[in-house]
Amino acid sequence: MTLITRRAALAGATGLLMAGCDRITTSPTVRKVLTLGEKATLSSQKLVTGRNALAQEFTRADLSPRFRVNGNRLPASADYAAHMTNGFADWELEVAGLVTRPLAMTLAQLKAAPQRTQITRHDCVEGWSAIGEWTGVPLGLLLRHAGVSAKAQYVVFHCADDFSGIPFYESIDMVEAFHPQTILAHTMNRQALSVGHGAPIRLRAERQLGYKQAKYVMKIEAVASLDGIYGGKGGYWEDHSGYQWNAGI
Amino acid sequence: MDATEPVEMLRDASSVAPGPLVYRTHLPVRIWHWINALSIFVMLMSGATIFNAHPRLYWGAYGANFDEPWLVIGRRGQEGFVNLLGLEIPTTGFLGFTENSIRAFPPLVTIPNYYSLAEGRQWHFFFAWVLVISAVLYLLYSILSKHLSRDLALQPHERKFGHLWHDLKQHARLRFPKGEAARAYNPLQKIAYLGVIFGLIPLVVLTGLTMSPMLNAAFPWLLDLFGGRQSARSIHFLCAGGFAAFTVIHLFMVVLAGPINELRSMVTGWYRLPAERMEDRP
């Protein structure tokens, strides 16, 4: 009988292989090289996609029978709880940063502004998709109204929810911010946006994956750079889970 | 295992009289082969990581947890299963649940070898570039150098059903061409390679692009072509299955045909023609 059984040899070889793989996947140099792919993807997507090229829109017959909730389902803050109790009646959306006229808009004011309704597909980074109907104010309209500066490169969305005390935020660039289908939605499938889906408003940036679609948006900030904002990578998932800032893929 | 028999047979045959060394594989083809081999491995394994994030496949434009999948790799407690079109197949220890994982694909076949969707995506999208750029360069070379028309395209006599049927029977008996006949690719081999180059690779790339929401805006016709994003995701996964099957058969064939000789030809370009079998000699 041999001391080294085939099973043990296989397990040993597997262990060695896995350790080798581990050294490659955790190497900082390798990770740096891999980000080149991310840059190439973002540049070429920008190159082939027109600024105003639209995401596919559907009809009501195409709606997902049930649109699953994802991410946080209920922000934990006391402030949010108070807003929820009185139906967001004195809630205000703050528009700040590189703007000449900072705004504070109530839900009623947002609903009284010009609206856009679109039936679009929500694609989670995990792979699933759901189709929903969204109504809201075009973000570009709000930014123009606030007199956004030409120096602004990104729009940051500060949200009411958090993960283990770390606030959720996201960001998009000015092309996506002024895209005609980028709206701050307060209505989903013809009903007031539910708490699970991000009440009172959530972002819909239809050419981006789900993690960009910030829920519970409290404040919008126009900035020249993402440096120094929270972790500096442009979003909660980007800072803490290594997701790419570009959610167009 | 019956596989020892043909190997013995080959060894006997080659001991009769070794054939001459011939220069068979040009440098650009060899370079592409190895870059592509690496890309395919990384794509399959990082793709397995991405699949693990939502191990369910659907047809149509949408599909999520409340919708009907056609394929699920899941687990119930400590039992892994694959559910294909409603038929449940137990896969404990392989898929869905193993000693060290509760994910659809175990860490042995994923990159990285722990669950990280973000890192899996980084690997996948980097090597997608490697795969596409090297495939385009290879294709250009193959057309310009006539590698495609001379070595890969089926010659007129090979396109006849009788010829293909004969080749198929020979393959089933694990009897491969010898001597001068082994200098060129055989018809089934050509069909397999052409299938990968003009079938699987374009299909996997296009279905991959169809999953990008940004590119959906740039090329909405891709969604129509594949019947929606979730259909594209399903086809992408089936293509991955095609690559995995090709790789397994390809490696099996290399082993049967003489791994040292085959490896040498893919590294140095020089291939030793297998000696002709006595009974095949005129």
- C-alpha distances (whole Å) from B229 to each of A141, A171, A175 are 30, 25, 24
**Helices B27-53, B229-257: inter-axial angle, 10-degree rounding:** 130
CB-CB: which of A18, A49, A121 is closest to B229? A121
Asked, for residue B242, whether it belongs to a domain, the answer is: yes
CA-based nearest distance B24→chain A, Å: 33
Give the CA dihedral A97, A140, B62, B223, nearest 10 degrees.
Answer: -120
Angle subtended at Cα B101 by Cα B100 and Cα B103, rounded to the nearest 5 degrees: 170
| Contact between A125 and B121 using a beta-carbon 8 Å cutoff | yes
**pLDDT at residue number B144:** 97
CB-CB: which of B53, B119, B128 is closest to A25? B119
- Is residue B135 within 8 A of residue B36, CB to CB? The reply is yes
Angle subtended at Cα A236 by Cα A231 and Cα A238, rounded to the nearest 5 degrees: 75
Using a CB–CB cutoff of 8 Å, tell me whether A129 touches chain B.
yes
- Domain range spanning residue B266? 4-26+145-275
Answer yes or no: do B205 and B257 share one domain: yes
Asked, for residue B44, whether it belongs to a domain, the answer is: no
- Residues ≥6 apart with Cβ < 8 Å to A227: none
Cβ-Cβ contacts under 8 Å, B61 against chain A: 58, 62, 121, 129, 131
Last residue of a domain, one of B89, B104, B119: B104
Closest-CA residue to A132 (of A50, A46, A196): A196
Which candidate in B38, B56, B62 is best for mutational testing of the A interface (most A CBs within 10 A)? B62
Cβ-Cβ contacts under 8 Å, B62 against chain A: 62, 64, 121, 129-131
Using a CB–CB cutoff of 8 Å, tell me whether A123 touches chain B.
yes
Last residue of a domain, one of B47, B74, B104: B104
**pLDDT at residue number A219:** 98
User: How far is Cα B278 from Cα A170, in angstroms, rounded to an integer?
Assistant: 73
User: How far is Cα B210 from Cα B216, in angstroms, rounded to an integer?
Assistant: 6
Asked, for residue B235, whether it belongs to a domain, the answer is: yes
Q: What is the pLDDT of residues B200-256, one digit of tens each?
A: 999 999 999 999 999 999 999 999 999 999 999 999 999 999 999 999 999 999 999
Q: Is the pLDDT of residue B13 over 50?
A: no
The first and second tokens of residue B233, run together, are 């995701």
**pLDDT at residue number B1:** 38
CB-CB: which of B62, B108, B125 is closest to A37? B125
Asked, for residue B16, whether it belongs to a domain, the answer is: yes
The first and second tokens of residue A71, run together, are 């991410």
Q: Is the pLDDT of residue B271 over 90?
A: yes
Q: What is the pLDDT of residues B30-43, one digit of tens each?
A: 999 999 999 999 99
Answer yes or no: do B83 and B172 share one domain: no
Answer yes or no: do B73 and B195 share one domain: no
Asked, for residue B261, whether it belongs to a domain, the answer is: yes
| Contact between A26 and B63 using a beta-carbon 8 Å cutoff | no
DSSP assignment of chain B: -TTHHHHHHHHHHHHH----EEE-S-HHHHHHHHHHHHHHHHHHHHHHHHHHHS-EE-SSS-B-TTS--SEEEEEETTEEEEEETTEEEE-TTTSS-BTTB-SSS-GGGSSSSS--HHHHHHHHHHHHHHHHHHHHHHHHHHHHTTHIIIIISPPGGGGSHHHHHHHHHHHHTT----GGGGSSPPHHHHHHHHHIIIIIHHHHHHHHHHT-HHHHHH-THHHHHHTSHHHHHHHHHHHHHHHHHHHHHHHHHHHHH-HHHHHHHHHTSEEEPPPPPGGG--
3-state secondary structure of A232: coil
The first and second tokens of residue A45, run together, are 């997507």
- Is residue A126 within 8 A of residue B53, CB to CB? The reply is yes
Answer yes or no: do B157 and B230 share one domain: yes
Mean pLDDT (whole number) for B260-270: 96
**DSSP character at residue A72:** -
**DSSP character at residue A83:** H
The first and second tokens of residue A73, run together, are 């389902």
| Contact between B218 and A50 using a beta-carbon 8 Å cutoff | yes
Q: Which position has the token pair 């946080």?
A: A72
Answer yes or no: do B242 and B164 share one domain: yes
What chain B residue is nearest to A121 in terms of C-alpha separation?
Answer: B62
Asked, for residue B74, whether it belongs to a domain, the answer is: yes
Asked, for residue B41, whether it belongs to a domain, the answer is: no
CA-based nearest distance A62→chain B, Å: 8
Q: Is the pLDDT of residue B12 over 70?
A: no
Q: List chain A residues with pLDDT less than 70.
A: 1-14
**pLDDT at residue number B79:** 96
| Contact between A56 and B56 using a beta-carbon 8 Å cutoff | no
Which H or E run includes A170?
strand A166-173
Answer yes or no: do B17 and B95 share one domain: no
Answer yes or no: do B98 and B156 share one domain: no
Q: Residue A22: how many CA atoms within 13 Å on its side-chain side?
A: 9
Q: Which residues pair with B6 in a beta bridge?
A: none
Q: What is the pLDDT of residues B77-112, one digit of tens each?
A: 999 999 999 999 999 999 999 988 999 999 999 999
Answer yes or no: do B10 and B62 share one domain: no
Answer yes or no: do B156 and B263 share one domain: yes
| Contact between B65 and A36 using a beta-carbon 8 Å cutoff | no
Answer yes or no: do B98 and B161 share one domain: no
Q: What is the pLDDT of residues B165-177, one digit of tens each?
A: 998 998 888 888 8
Asked, for residue B253, whether it belongs to a domain, the answer is: yes
The complex's ipTM?
0.92
When divided into structural domains, chain B yields a total of 2
- Is residue A207 within 8 A of residue A179, CB to CB? The reply is yes
User: How far is Cα B232 from Cα B59, in angstroms, rounded to an integer?
Assistant: 8
User: How far is Cα A130 from Cα A64, in angstroms, rounded to an integer?
Assistant: 6
User: How far is Cα B262 from Cα B271, in angstroms, rounded to an integer?
Assistant: 7
Last residue of a domain, one of B38, B71, B104: B104
**pLDDT at residue number B5:** 43
Q: What is the pLDDT of residues B128-159, one digit of tens each?
A: 999 999 999 999 999 999 999 999 999 998 88
Answer yes or no: do B150 and B271 share one domain: yes
| Contact between A25 and B218 using a beta-carbon 8 Å cutoff | no
Using a CB–CB cutoff of 8 Å, tell me whether B213 touches chain A.
yes
What chain B residue is nearest to A17 in terms of C-alpha separation?
Answer: B108
User: How far is Cα B48 from Cα B59, in angstroms, rounded to an integer?
Assistant: 19
Closest-CA residue to A204 (of A122, A88, A106): A122
Using a CB–CB cutoff of 8 Å, tell me whether A16 touches chain B.
no
pLDDT band at B14 (very low <50, low <70, confident <90, very high): very low
Using a CB–CB cutoff of 8 Å, tell me whether A43 touches chain B.
no
| Contact between A241 and B118 using a beta-carbon 8 Å cutoff | yes
Answer yes or no: do B82 and B213 share one domain: no
Q: Is the pLDDT of residue B61 over 80?
A: yes
**pLDDT at residue number B17:** 67
